[in-house]
Structure 1
């Protein structure tokens, strides 16, 4: 059996003693999903249930519950190994594009030199051939050291440290990107900057509800949604998925306004500080590449060189007799030439097209962020109608702390022992009252 990573992280963050509402809020999960997940996790990881006299349930887990699961389920161990293997495979995929660029340049350079030398030998004597060779050889030697240095992450790391100050957080906090990885980043970017946007959205919504003791009005949650039409804002239809996710209930005020309360988010396993919630859900802009400037320009330069070499090679390969005379590697390059030319064009064409696509995408991101910020500002303005709704909502605000003293039954103790303990507590309470009455 596999368990939600968000759920397990929430249990750890909340210090292993949790309620369903707390986990649903922390993980941004549907309340029913969180409840089922906690029951399954407790059954398989040695967790215990604590039931209060009110019927509310607290889940308590051992701090090593991940180790228990790992030892119990081969599937979980296998998944961890596969995740590690995928990281290696993905790293090889990332650097393969840089390797292909370098091999393409080297291969076409050698082929061009061979064809130029062969062409010169047709019209010149041996001395001319030696002069031709001595003219071209330094160009080949010039590429040699740099190509080997391209494969050295330390070389580009030194260049990067030269570009940033010693106190730069970018240098200290982010892992270094070698040139081969920078090529992949230049071509395809670095992935979605908001991979967990939905998780962040529901975490923020749940935390807002909990911070207001389980009762909110619709305007308090609008800064965390995307596009909302005027009709949706007026009808408060965006609250329907919130009610379904966290088992909430609407309540109509005497003036006809709606407030919403969530009984299960009002229950906590222990007293906790109010979580800090951003005023609105902010999406991150898509970046073209996170590669350092030096590596980015080097990738562009090598891409330009690669395209020029491909065009030069195409002209030289047009002489079929010359190609047949040289043979060997040149024949192989001739076979591969469509691939080499296509890669050279795509190496510069793909990033160019992606650049313009990102401009449009980031414009939409900024529009959504601006709309959410405007809704947050409207809430902060505190108009009289909003204040009236907030005042009415406070009637339903409540917070229930299930301290160990409030627990009537726990699965980690024998039922008979708990009953005897309960009778002892009742006797002590009775004696205390008698003494107070005297």
Structure 2
């Protein structure tokens, strides 16, 4: 079984020496998964176990453990290759919608010109081309994306500067159609990272009110008394509930009280904040241009449909016009979808952001409540402090390590004990 990528990333961020609690906090994983994942990773990557005198375990990994795993697991190699290939494929998929739009516009308007030309060739030639010499393809910004300076961010236009853009024109069309993905894709990971950090900052002992700013629905007021919403947190981090003399519940998390490195309390947001969905990362000018091209495409499809209604013209002209007639309903459907999809998505984004704002507001209210704790809540927090502890496993309090032979370790430990006794005897004299 291939190692968990989240655990590997956590090990690297924590400087290759970790406890189960360290990894669970960093990766937002439950304790059991972090424990099993670390054992498997240590086995596969040649890691070492360091056992403290308290019985707690630290995992020590070589800095090149990814190279070791890559040589051992064909699956990891394939995953890395696929990630590189998928980046290219996804980019091609994104720009394909813009390419199809441009080809659709070109096919539609060239077909219109050919149809008009075949119907009144003499008159049209005198006037310089279809529709009394109208220029169908005069769209000043249509091929702006071919400019080598497009991605530099700014372009002078009418004495003004354009907005800075992270996307080229073809990418902007995809963004206009489908957006740029879920901004809260890793919400659960962030949620439990922040919860674990709160627990760590409080030395492994908290009350439920300190966790509620990072949860979603915690039930109605009468349900909150039982603190059922804490069950998933207890399960994930192997927490233990305890009851104060006043009947209040506090929670301790032994695995999160052990760390391989002494750290100061980490700064985290007062509550879990979901990010709002954006309609598009494209600039306003790119959105307007995309919408404008969509209208041009759809209107052109309607005009072409009127010209090809009886089918006789297409048979007469043939060639490109015949091809356009053959796929006309596909062109019309693409043109309609190009406008309908963003319109529907716009209203969906507004509705979704309203829900997100409500959840953020509820979490913020809970955060303000814990920040301005009343006397009763403060007593509950003070009782939780009785269960707070923080164990740092340094190299000076190890019982043994798998890095060296156990006999050598026992001899070294015996020498340390002898030296300590000699020092005591000298001080006694």
TM-score range normalised by the length of the shorter chain: over 0.9
Quick one: distance in 1 between partners of 2:67 and 2:262? 28
2:353 aligned with 1:362: yes
- For 1:349-370, what per-residue CA distance to the aligned partner results, in whole angstroms no more than 9, with x for missing partners? 1110111111111110000000
- Which of 399, 408, 417 is the aligned partner of 1:417? 408
The structural deviation recorded for 1:320 is 2.5
Q: Please show how residues 321-336 of structure 1 align to structure 2 within 5 Å.
A: 321-336=312-327
SS of alignment partner, residue 139 of structure 1: coil
SS of alignment partner, residue 182 of structure 2: coil
The structural deviation recorded for 1:408 is 1.0
List alignment gaps of at least 5 residues for structure 2. Answer: none
Quick one: distance in 1 between partners of 2:212 and 2:359? 12
More helix by share: 1
- For 1:348-391, what per-residue CA distance to the aligned partner results, in whole angstroms no more than 9, with x for missing partners? 11110111111111110000000000000011111111100011
8 Å CA contact 2:153–2:166 kept in 1: the answer is: no
- For 1:77-134, what per-residue CA distance to the aligned partner results, in whole angstroms no more than 9, with x for missing partners? 111001111111111111111111100000001000000111113xxxx4x3521444
The structural deviation recorded for 1:312 is 0.6
8 Å CA contact 2:166–2:281 kept in 1: the answer is: no
The structural deviation recorded for 1:239 is 1.0
Quick one: distance in 2 between partners of 1:162 and 1:24? 51
Could you say if the C-alpha distance between residues 135 and 339 of structure 1 is closer, same or farther in structure 2, counting changes exceeding 3 Å? closer
- Which of 204, 215, 228 is the aligned partner of 1:225? 215
- For 1:405-434, what per-residue CA distance to the aligned partner results, in whole angstroms no more than 9, with x for missing partners? 100110010111001001101100110110
Quick one: distance in 1 between partners of 2:380 and 2:141? 69
TM-score relative to the length of structure 1: 0.93
Could you say if the C-alpha distance between residues 371 and 422 of structure 1 is closer, same or farther in structure 2, counting changes exceeding 3 Å? same
CA root-mean-square deviation: 1.9
The structural deviation recorded for 1:162 is 5.2
Quick one: distance in 2 between partners of 1:96 and 1:188? 13
TM-score relative to the length of structure 2: 0.94
The structural deviation recorded for 1:198 is 0.1
8 Å CA contact 1:6–1:27 kept in 2: the answer is: yes
Partner of 1:196: 186
8 Å CA contact 1:232–1:238 kept in 2: the answer is: no
- Which of 394, 402, 406 is the aligned partner of 2:397? 406
Partner of 1:105: 105
Partner of 2:138: 142
Quick one: distance in 2 between partners of 1:99 and 1:13? 41
> Could you list the runs of 4 or more consecutive aligned residues of structure 1 that deviate by over 6 angstroms after TM superposition?
none
Partner of 2:125: 130
8 Å CA contact 1:20–1:34 kept in 2: the answer is: yes
SS of alignment partner, residue 238 of structure 1: helix
